[in-house]
Structure 1
Amino acid sequence: MVPVPAPPAWHKVPPEQVRRFADLAMEQVPDIAGEILRAMRQEFPNLELTTDDMGVPKALLAIRLALESFVSQLTTDIERPRELPEVFREFGRNQALKGRRLDSLQAIYRLNVRLAWRSLAEIGQKVEIPPPAMYELAESAFEYLDELVSHSVHGYAEVAAGRAGERIRRQRLLVDLLLTEHRTDPSGALAERAAAVDWPLPDEVAVAVLLRPAQQVVTPALGDEVLLDMDGEHPRLVLADPDAPGRVERLHRAMGGWSGAIGPAVPVAQAATSLHWAAAAARMIEEGLLPEGRLLRCSEHSEALVLLPAEKLIDDLARRRLAQLTEAGPEQARRLAETLLAWLETQGGAPEVAARLGVHPQTVRNRLRQIRDLWGEDLEDPDRRFELELVLRTRRLRGELADPHA
């Protein structure tokens, strides 16, 4: 047979003793509440107390209500007053509306419980409540405190969530204005919207376009210098003063799991230009033309951003400038093209070109003779050399020619 646990110590106190304790406590509730309010004002001299229509501090009413509810449950099983949670939710809401931290309100609650318990302990001695029962009552008092705090936390969270939502809305309006192409000076409107979200308007910005990862990852935790707009298929962010020491590096560290592209630094009124290049780079990442898996900087891939989108123009130019390779086999054509590009980039002799390609100088000499036979005077024309280098660099970017830097 399983032994039945002994009832809690408070339940062992004779009912008439409990009744005397409750009656005495109820009689003293107004005095206890007044003493607690005086202590609150002394301990927290800057405390602002709101009043009801009769001019009575709402805190005093709340203390009375909380004490009466706690004491009444010692003798009855009635539910706590419905207005009790709402009163303490309002305290939490007011704390948030005044821009104060919730822990200051919790400190006030702890003071209240400590003072209330001191008075209840004195009453317990008067009616000779056994110490074990009073210990249980103290535990119940602090559980009761946790319940009241939870109501205040909910009220605080309601306001905080509303403010966060409003800030997100205002921040989105600022981002939209920043990323719009302007025909007139937008400085006034930008300053107004930036002030609405406490974002110091910088001299320069860089705009990034993000690619959502295949697997779910958390939203990047970014500093105050970053505006983030997570709406849409491709989230956008605006980084203030990107050339400030360590700023881009911190952004990279915060972007774990995300990839995308960050555009060049531009004056704040020209943020749309930075967005243009970031969006172009993001598309090229999706197409496999630029590396994914990190937030790349457009300034480090300017060659690809300029040459690869001009595919049809470059192909047409290549047909005219590389026609000499059509009669060579694919492998021979590739080797000659790589050698020609290395020569154009180094403007050196066979040793320099050979070092760049990783082949023997005599091999390069043989190829250079073939190249001179094929292109002749074109190699002496600066415009032709530029066009040849343009089309050959594009082929290398596409992976058709080996990259000696890889």
Structure 2
Amino acid sequence: MSLSRAVEQPQADVPREFADALRPYLDDLAEEMIAEIRASIPEYSRQSGAYTRIVRHAVEEALAGFVNRVGDRGASRSRLLEVYRAVGGGEAAEGRPLDSLQSALRICARVAWRRLAEESERLNLSRQRMCDIGEAILVYLDEIAAAAADGYAEAQVRVAGELELRRRRLLDLLVADPPAALRAVTDLARSVRWTTPRTVACVALTARAPGDLPRPGLPPDVLVDLDRSDPCMVVPDPDGPGRQGLLDALAADWTVAIGPAVPLGEAGLSLRLARNALALVRRGVIDGRRVVRVPDHLATLMIFQDEALIQIMARTRLAPLLTLRPAQRDRLAETLLAWLQSGNATEVAARLHIHPQTVRYRLRQATELFADQLGNPGDRFELEVVLRARAAGLYAVRD
């Protein structure tokens, strides 16, 4: 119920004398209400001085507001409603459910009605007058409850916005390169109730198509910012149960690359590798139709880390291919790479879908061309690296 729908003054049938008779008992009534609230609702049982003052202020304002409105038909409601808007906002900021406040107001109504029943004879109240006062109490509490609900809703929006800003700031600190101070990270993590994990993996994303995309449903411990120019996420404990499939649902709308699991202080490295992988997806080097997991592509990332160096190395290591026709170069390079990776002609034949005899013929040819490189482990390693680069399109042998 919003303030715009607040019930009009409900005290028309309550005698003004009732307010004068009630005023001397307000302090006792407030004490009784506060005691019952704290005894009945665990969220309000704290003993701290500041918190007790807040509860007392809310109860005393409610009682004073009711008596003033009965005693003075023209009394303004605005101050009381602002007080309860603030009370509702405070409840949201403390993280308590609105139900607790509503329960406290019901307790106030129950205590007020009980005291009214006890004092009805002394106050010479008829049954009709008691009904009028009881109804006025309930309607009045509905009105201040509506004010509190408005304040609660406004604060929830504000708190949610502040929380989201802090979570994005935490993400920024985690992926900073060089790393941010650990104390700054842990302090901010505590403020957003984010438990610092043992390891994290960072995710780089790019939209598959322009336009607004649906917001993914992710666990609250996953930090995400999809509105930045380079969208990214931080996934805690990425090797934990259920984490492997966490990003699969994103692949329909996003190209997704997840970096390796690293200690918290190396999150920036994980994100950098994920972004490098994403760049290779855009170049067609890595297949991005499914989630790209960086640990599956470390060799490719290493090869593309310094492309100029690979180009220089390839000119030397692949020079023997210049003696062959272009079609022969492709076949021989493909076969030699497969053999360097497996060391078995039969396996190479199965991998390339050719006859083992064809493999052996090509390998004899490769041995003749690369004899001076195949006998040295270091040369073999460099040869495999440049053949991988060639297969990835990074280098082409030209006459």
TM-score (norm 1): 0.69
Per the alignment, residue 337 of structure 2 pairs with 341
- Determine whether 1:276 maps to 2:278: no
Per the alignment, residue 354 of structure 1 pairs with 349
CA distance 1:30–1:219, shift in 2 (3 Å) = farther
CA distance 1:237–1:147, shift in 2 (3 Å) = farther
Counterpart AA for 2:35: R
TM-fit CA distance, 1:370: 3.3
Per the alignment, residue 62 of structure 2 pairs with 62
TM-fit CA distance, 1:306: 1.1
Per the alignment, residue 389 of structure 2 pairs with 394
CA distance 1:19–1:397, shift in 2 (3 Å) = closer
| C-alpha contact (below 8 Å) 1:29/1:64 kept by paired residues | no
| C-alpha contact (below 8 Å) 1:263/1:298 kept by paired residues | yes
Judge which range, 60-69 or 302-311, deviates more.
60-69
* Selected match of 1:364 from 359, 364, 370: 359
* Selected match of 1:297 from 293, 301, 311: 293
Counterpart AA for 2:340: L
Per the alignment, residue 107 of structure 1 pairs with 103
| C-alpha contact (below 8 Å) 2:204/2:230 kept by paired residues | yes
| C-alpha contact (below 8 Å) 1:37/1:60 kept by paired residues | no
Separation in structure 1 between the aligned mates of residue 373 and residue 267 of structure 2, nearest angstrom: 42
Separation in structure 2 between the aligned mates of residue 207 and residue 340 of structure 1, nearest angstrom: 36
TM-fit CA distance, 1:288: 3.5
Gaps of 5+ in 2: 1-9, 40-44
TM-fit CA distance, 1:62: 1.9
TM-fit CA distance, 1:116: 7.1
TM-fit CA distance, 1:285: 3.0
Separation in structure 2 between the aligned mates of residue 62 and residue 19 of structure 1, nearest angstrom: 15
CA distance 1:152–1:286, shift in 2 (3 Å) = farther
Deviations 1:16-44 (A, max 9, x none): xx998444896599489886973563254
- Determine whether 1:210 maps to 2:212: no
Per the alignment, residue 35 of structure 2 pairs with 41
Q: What CA RMSD, in Å, does the superposition of the two structures yield over aligned residues?
A: 4.6
| C-alpha contact (below 8 Å) 1:207/1:262 kept by paired residues | yes
| C-alpha contact (below 8 Å) 2:248/2:290 kept by paired residues | no
Per the alignment, residue 264 of structure 1 pairs with 260
Separation in structure 1 between the aligned mates of residue 394 and residue 194 of structure 2, nearest angstrom: 43
Per the alignment, residue 223 of structure 1 pairs with 220
Aligned residues: 365
| C-alpha contact (below 8 Å) 1:206/1:241 kept by paired residues | yes
| C-alpha contact (below 8 Å) 1:354/1:364 kept by paired residues | yes
Per the alignment, residue 5 of structure 2 pairs with none
Counterpart AA for 1:217: P
1:67-106 equivalences under 5 Å are: 81-106=77-102
Judge which range, 167-176 or 215-224, deviates more.
167-176
| C-alpha contact (below 8 Å) 1:262/1:278 kept by paired residues | yes
| C-alpha contact (below 8 Å) 2:36/2:107 kept by paired residues | no
| C-alpha contact (below 8 Å) 1:92/1:153 kept by paired residues | yes
Gaps of 5+ in 1: 1-17, 402-406
Counterpart AA for 2:128: K
Q: Percent identity?
A: 34
Separation in structure 2 between the aligned mates of residue 154 and residue 93 of structure 1, nearest angstrom: 8
Per the alignment, residue 148 of structure 2 pairs with 152
Where 1:237 maps in the other structure, the secondary structure is: strand
Considering Cα pairs closer than 8 Å and 6+ residues apart, tell me whether 1 or 2 has the greater RCO.
2
Separation in structure 2 between the aligned mates of residue 234 and residue 63 of structure 1, nearest angstrom: 55
Where 1:218 maps in the other structure, the secondary structure is: coil
Where 2:219 maps in the other structure, the secondary structure is: coil
CA distance 1:366–1:267, shift in 2 (3 Å) = same
Deviations 1:165-193 (A, max 9, x none): 4444544554444434459x944454444
